[in-house]
Amino acid sequence: MPYERNADLPDQVRDHLPSHAQDIYREAYNSAWDQYADPADRRGDASREEVAHRVAWSAVKEKYEKGDDGDWHRK
């Protein structure tokens, strides 16, 4: 299910990502949710939700990296 706002994101995302990174995550997740609606477009037996989360984390990792403190910081 797509996320309408950052407050709807999973705790692990909200608790560790800065606001801008949460925006990136939400937008990438929602886009992937739409893009991978058809199971034939996904690899293996991954669910639509799994794929959308993977895409979202990948988008975040382009601009942010996880610090020693466990939180994510802009590269």
pLDDT at 71: 87
Task: Tell me which fold the domain 9-62 belongs to.
Answer: Rna Polymerase Sigma Factor; Chain: A (1.10.1740)
What's the N-to-C CA distance of the chain in angstroms? 29
What does the pLDDT look like over 45-61, one tens digit per residue?
Answer: 999 999 999 999 999 99
pLDDT greater than 90 at residue 1: no
Q: Give the residue extent of every domain in the chain.
A: 9-62
Distance in angstroms (rounded) separating the CA atoms of residues 67 and 30? 26
What does the pLDDT look like over 19-39, one tens digit per residue?
Answer: 999 999 999 999 999 999 999
* Contact call for residues 54 and 64 (beta carbons, < 8 A): no
Say whether pTM exceeds 0.85. Answer: yes
